[in-house]
Structure 1
Amino acid sequence: MKKLEFYVFPVTFIIGFLIYLLEYPFGAIITIFSLLGLSCLYFYFGFALFNKIPFRRIFKKESYQSISIWRIIGAIVTGFSISIVIVGVLFKIFRWPFANQLLIIGSFFLIITFIVSLIKHIKHKNASAFYKSVVLRVVFFGVGGILFLCLPDYTFLALKYKNHPDYIEAVKQLDKDPENIELIKEEQRAYEKMIRE
């Protein structure tokens, strides 16, 4: 699972995101699947990932005998929080609704997890490796979530279509009044003009 967490999904995301920004085919699909895959990894297997339980031993009872129930609960909450932040990042990249709300909720839970993990790390030296790994991941995803939250909504649209300011402006106007038929037609015209260029 560590290879999925540190190599497969992040590298796939970076490649897919670059392909998406360069407007090549399948960039959006690769980006979506890599972030959703990473999100699902933390959501469903966070308890095993943080407690260093290999995938083949997840369903074996003896894997959890030396782990306290509070560590398992903490790992579940941490995985859930990181998963929310990753989905928020995905929504922010594609300007889908509720991106900022997801980033706020995920970052809030990560801040709480950070405080609890830091206190536990200081108090319990015997479980120090567990809390250290939790703190490092929480800091990475928490800072990333807050940075994405601070980005303007049209950052990635402006990056992708930097040579087409008319289309960006048409999208902004349409977002202000999505029911306006004239703005819908204007956005379609700008999009078709951009494709022809």
Structure 2
Amino acid sequence: MKLIERIILLVFFLAILLKAGLFRGTRASLEISTLLLSMLYFYFGFALFNGIGFRAMFKKSSYAGVSVGKISGAIALGLALSSVLIGILFKLMFWPGANEMIMIGGTGLLIILLVASVVMVIKKKSLDSFYKGIFLRGSVALIFALVFFFTSQKSLIRFFHRDNPTFAELMIKAMGNPQDEELQRQLEEAGEMENK
């Protein structure tokens, strides 16, 4: 499963770079890779973070040396990572609710990292592969969560549509006035021209 995670992560970061480079047609690859990674963490995080392979995760013997605390922590980490990823996707697609999802996931990540630190100090555990995975994934995701949380939607719109500033400003106006039907119609027409 770690190989699957790495491949999807590579596609995810590549899609973000292509979107930043103003390449057309990156929307689908960004959406699909984000959703796949989010589902991987959400549904299989408990096994992935404990180093249990896909085939072995259905066998009871695979969990013999894994404590309830590690499974609980892995489930919580999977939920938090999933929430942050969906929030980042919403932010990059300019959909409403992005900051709320990023805040929920980021808060969860912060709590998980603090609890893992306390457990390591109290139990005087060395940094085994489980804790390395938690700290690596959690801290990287928390940094991305903070960057995307504090980056305004207007800045992202202007950045991703820097080749067409008129469309960017129209999009910002339409987001500020969602009830203005004429403005929404203009945005829809401009969007069709933008996608051609």
TM-score for the superposition, normalised by structure 1: 0.90
| Equivalent-residue separation in structure 1 for 2:65 and 2:126 (angstroms) | 11
Aligned equivalents of 2:192, 2:125: Cα separation in 1: 62
Query: Partner residue of 2:33?
Result: 34
d(CA) in 1 for partners of 2:97, 2:26: 22
Structure 2: where are the runs of 5+ without partners?
Answer: none
| More divergent stretch after superposition (74-83 vs 123-132) | 123-132
Tell me which residue corresponds to 1:63.
Answer: 62
The equivalent of 1:17 in structure 2 is 16
Query: What does residue 149 of structure 2 align with?
Result: 149
- Residues 120 and 131 in structure 1, CA contact (< 8 A), matched pair in contact too: no
Q: Displacement of 1:127 after TM fit?
A: 6.4
Structure 1 residue runs without a partner (length 5+): none
Residues 157 and 172 in structure 2, CA contact (< 8 A), matched pair in contact too: no
Matched, 1:49 2:20: no
RMSD: 2.0
Separation in structure 1 between the aligned mates of residue 193 and residue 66 of structure 2, nearest angstrom: 60
CA displacement 1:107-132 (0-9 Å, x = unmatched): 01111101000111223345631223
1:184 Cα deviation after fit = 2.1
Q: 2:6 aligned with 1:3, yes or no? A: no
Which whole-Å CA distance do the structure 1 matches of 2:135 and 2:193 have between them?
49
Asked if residue 92 in structure 1 is aligned to residue 91 in structure 2, the reply is yes
Q: Which amino acid aligns with 2:160?
A: K
Q: After superposition, where does 1:53-132 map in structure 2 within 5 Å?
A: 53-126=52-125, 128-129=127-128, 130-132=130-132
Structure 1 191/32 Cα, relative in aligned 2: closer, same or farther at 3 Å? closer
Identity %: 32
- Deviant stretches of 4+, over 6 Å: none
Deviation at 1:50, TM superposition (A): 1.2
Give the letter aligned to residue 28 of structure 2. I
Say whether 1:163 aligns with 2:163: yes
* CA distance, structure 2, for counterparts of residue 61 and residue 162 of structure 1: 54
Q: CA deviation at 1:59?
A: 0.3
Q: Output the CA distance in 2 between the equivalents of 1:112 and 1:102.
A: 15
Q: Which amino acid aligns with 1:29?
A: A
Q: Which moved more, 1:119-128 or 1:97-106?
A: 119-128
1:178 CA displacement: 1.5
Flag the 1:96–1:58 CA change in 2: closer, same or farther, 3 A: same
CA distance in 2, matches of 1:110, 1:92: 18
Deviation of residue 65 (structure 1)?
Answer: 1.2
| Structure 1 residue 88, shift from structure 2 partner | 0.6
Q: d(CA) in 1 for partners of 2:77 and 2:90?
A: 20
Letter in structure 1 aligned against 2:170:
A
What is the rounded CA distance, in whole Å, between the counterparts of 1:30 and 1:165 in structure 2?
Answer: 25
Change (3 A) 1:122 1:133: farther
